[in-house]
Structure 1
């Protein structure tokens, strides 16, 4: 699903994973508003329809792509399709993620593996597939979604480990790809109102509104975050003028974190 208008030579092509809803959808919309052509990638291609339609209705170019980011062949096929239909991708936002929360003694090995595969393996496979287009263009922007949970969080041994690992991946990509004009940075959200935080509220058996209100009292700015707050930070890192900012982790959490 895409518009028929052809890209202008200077238009950047972005891939946003996990972009059917939440932070991914907000980021896809924000990058489209910045003039990017956007591949809206999610596990279920049909789920991307709403995000794509919002972009195209505003005059942008977008493509819905279905792929499991933890599957090497699906990732390769998705990136090839984006290059063929939108143009060579030079912006990548690794946002796809899942939760399988539990205390350590209750956590199953498959739940550990699922979280690692989507967050870490997925970001690795996507970055590896896209980097050749960035190197050829001598321009690239990679943004990995970490989390304040990277600092440790009860009931999230798998998720916290994956999000901390993404920070190490980010810094390594910045070192390896910098000489090709490619930057890599991470955005680490605090409490953001998404389906994932709603699931966390359900896990601890709290009403979601009450859960948000309780969280807000612990945040210096006294409110919880919205997906657009994260999209704003990602838009900065992906901009042409952010070429001297690389290997950084930006916590977007309404206040300082240790």
Structure 2
């Protein structure tokens, strides 16, 4: 846990903010914490709608259209944001997509799209704003949206699991780099579980079996998922308190994490190999 963070009246830049968790984070940041928010999304209509909702409720927000998989678009987003609004206090690397299907049946273009948005997109957004944040005098924060899929493994979502493990490790590696130079930037990781978002509605599927899995998960999220708004409220409270790991469902995270950790540790059970002697 790091020092508490002051966000009131400061700027947030949130990717994938046109729907789901990103939309809820943008709305709650603006309305509950008086933040100025750049609502970034690849879909202009969705971004505009979120901005309209925030402004109607008395908050401050601006829409920005950018495909996070494209470095030039993200770099331009950062330049325009810094010029118009100054340095952000909070950057949320949240944009992400789902892909269902067995590893060997996943179309290469679906695999590439998942990694380019989920992994490269998170890198692009953080990389674009970090130089200004690192040199700033006020403490700022990066939030990476990983998933319980980033701490465990299950079948049928190999592309997504790989991407979310990568996002979680990216955040940890970045935190180590920032700590090594005593930068005034914190890093937190959001690990959402079952949340009622559009992620499976918008997912790609490699074949009819993968499509059935996609539809099943989409129905499950609609019926059993917690609201994005509840995740956003919990997340922003955790950020203000300086929490590094943000689990919306700790029991579910533990059920995913423990078998994965046990699998990794299994190779050590035999102990150190014996050293041959002459």
TM-score by length of 1: 0.83
Q: CA deviation at 1:173?
A: 1.5
Count of residues in correspondence between the two structures:
235
Residues 197, 221 of structure 2: 8 Å contact kept: no
Q: 1:186 aligns with which of 170, 186, 189?
A: 189
Equivalent residue number for residue 41 of structure 2: 42
Alignment of 1:214-225 (within 5 A): 216=224, 224-225=225-226
CA distance in 2, matches of 1:18, 1:208: 18
From the CA coordinates, give the structure whose radius of gyration is larger: 2
Q: CA deviation at 1:202?
A: 6.4
Pair 208,176 (structure 1): closer, same or farther in 2 beyond 3 Å: closer
Q: CA deviation at 1:197?
A: 3.9
**Runs of 5+ consecutive residues of structure 1 not aligned to the other structure:** 1-9, 217-223
**Runs of 5+ consecutive residues of structure 2 not aligned to the other structure:** 1-7, 204-209, 258-278
Residues 146, 165 of structure 2: 8 Å contact kept: yes
Equivalent residue number for residue 24 of structure 2: 26
Pair 55,172 (structure 1): closer, same or farther in 2 beyond 3 Å: same
Q: CA deviation at 1:57?
A: 1.5
Equivalent residue number for residue 245 of structure 2: 249
Equivalent residue number for residue 71 of structure 2: 72
Q: CA deviation at 1:212?
A: 5.0
Q: CA deviation at 1:191?
A: 0.7
Equivalent residue number for residue 152 of structure 1: 153
Residues 52, 64 of structure 1: 8 Å contact kept: yes
* Structure with higher RCO (Cα < 8 A, 6+ apart): 2
Q: CA deviation at 1:225?
A: 1.5
Residues 15, 89 of structure 1: 8 Å contact kept: yes
Equivalent residue number for residue 140 of structure 2: 140
